[in-house]
Structure 1
Amino acid sequence: MIPIISIPNSLANFKEKNTNQNLRNRFSPSPLILFLITLCLFHTNCKKSEQTPSASVLPYFSGKDFDPVWVENPEKDLSLKKIPKSFALTEHTGNQILSKDWAPSEHLVVFFYATCHGICPLITRNLIQVEPNLSEFPNLKIFSISINPKEDTVPVLQNYRKTFQIKNPNWSFFTGKEKEIENFAKETCGAEMEGFSVERGKYEFVHTENIFLFDKDKYLRGIYRAKGTGDVQRLVEDLKKLRQKIN
């Protein structure tokens, strides 16, 4: 007769735990696999938030290279170019406004300085010429921002506006803090600055002929050359696209 050997409960429990642990080790993913899975999910979610480039939809601009991107939820992408909420300017009326208080409408932004005799008057005149084409956008705001705020005081801005006989109440001229304007021009608009010229005594922008279009949520949506009429006409068409998107 074969004797029956009784296995202690502690030994049986140990074997059961050891077997379960081996199973867990065999079927549990490694940290590397978990990382790769997480990365794939993140990439998939990012792809879902991006839209396919479309001629009927204006892009946003992202990163230091101002890459055009199409996204469904721009508020979730902090890399998109957007006017900072704390950006402060002083209007030709003497009123100071923060960008967070700007009217919820499209804005055209240009840079100038009052004593400029080159590109600045050209931009101003071109905008005056295309104003009739912008009449279908009654809420559109035009902001001419001085890059020489130390000299372009409120009275200087008022005189500049009077010189060009600008009557449009939605076209404002601004001065402000030099560093804030410079940062806004560089970081948000991509308007590179050469720096202060002792000989000329003025700040010089490399791309001073550009007009910048911001949507009602203050995101940068288009960059246009003020020289000629081709890009200005494209600007009008792009404004229509923004309005269609809203409606």
Structure 2
Amino acid sequence: MKALILSACCLLGLAACNTSDKSDNLLPIYGNREAVTKTVNGKTVTDTVYHTIPDFETVNQYGKKITRKSLDGSIYVADFFFTSCPSICPIMHRNMLKVYDEFKKSGNVKIVSYSIDPRHDSVAVLKNYADKMGITGNNWWFLQGDKQAIYKLAESYLVAVMEDNKAPGGYVHQGYFVLIDKQKRIRGSYDGTNPEQVANLIKDIKLLQTEPQSMIAQ
């Protein structure tokens, strides 16, 4: 867990300055990568395979099953929270509303918020939470699933979450907004409690929307 937290902090530090470090107007691709050599038409070709978000199975605030495939063709922003959070979650989601309002009429941008307290955060609780925030439609999903599976999934987003009876609300989690491209690759991470970084996230989503077709293939 300490290693995960360190990795995520490093990612956040890089993302915080990526608006000035972008090369050729492209966002960086984060996470591990592997060089894979194969033979194509008798020639040896080396491709780079990037870290991607794996499959998952959850239910949203409308009781609809949501998986990795549900996000096919979409750029999306992910975060981890719980509805009874007394600390950073309210701040995070007030800031996320800015992202929602900016892109709610866009056809290819979504937000997914994974609950880390699925025992309490039932479909009904998530729907009530969304309603209070004024969230409608399918641009922002609040997701509930198997607790251990969600915690494991958080590692794929380079976000640390854990139970801690001594922490406010009984959980510890990092307040990152993680930007994912249409190929399920991590393209940025932003402190969801920091309005300046959330503004950078909005700019980077717009940049990702204009990314050349040559960047689509892994």
Task: Calculate the TM-score normalised by the size of structure 1.
Answer: 0.66
Within 1, Cα distance between the matches of 2:147 and 2:165?
17
Q: 2:53 aligns with which of 42, 67, 83?
A: 83
The correspondence of residues 159-178 of structure 1 with structure 2, limited to 5 A, is: 159-178=128-147
Within 2, Cα distance between the matches of 1:98 and 1:211?
19
Question: Cα 1:82–1:159, aligned 2, differ >3 Å: closer, same or farther?
Answer: same
8 A contact 1:141–1:171 mirrored in 2 = yes
Q: 1:229 aligns with which of 195, 200, 214?
A: 195
Question: Cα 1:91–1:246, aligned 2, differ >3 Å: closer, same or farther?
Answer: farther
**Deviation at 1:131?**
3.4
Show the counterpart of 2:183.
217
Q: 1:140 aligns with which of 95, 109, 127?
A: 109
Within 2, Cα distance between the matches of 1:223 and 1:101?
22
Within 1, Cα distance between the matches of 2:93 and 2:182?
23
Q: 2:74 aligns with which of 105, 119, 125?
A: 105
Question: Cα 1:130–1:203, aligned 2, differ >3 Å: closer, same or farther?
Answer: same
Alpha-carbon displacement from aligned partner over 1:180-221 (angstroms, at most 9, x marks no partner): 1111112x111123x32234562211x22x100000111111
Structure 1 unaligned residues grouped into runs of 5+: 1-52, 70-74
Within 2, Cα distance between the matches of 1:159 and 1:135?
19
Show the counterpart of 1:243.
209
Identity over aligned pairs, percent: 29
Question: Cα 1:199–1:237, aligned 2, differ >3 Å: closer, same or farther?
Answer: closer
Letter of the structure 1 residue corresponding to residue 53 of structure 2:
I
Structure number with larger C-alpha Rg: 1
Alpha-carbon displacement from aligned partner over 1:29-72 (angstroms, at most 9, x marks no partner): xxxxxxxxxxxxxxxxxxxxxxxx71511111123xxx9x9xxx
Show the counterpart of 1:204.
172
Aligned residues: 180
Structure 2 unaligned residues grouped into runs of 5+: 1-21, 35-45, 214-218
Within 1, Cα distance between the matches of 2:58 and 2:131?
20
8 A contact 1:91–1:175 mirrored in 2 = yes
Identify the structure with the greater strand proportion: 2
Higher relative contact order, chain-length normalized (CA < 8 Å, sep 6+) = 2
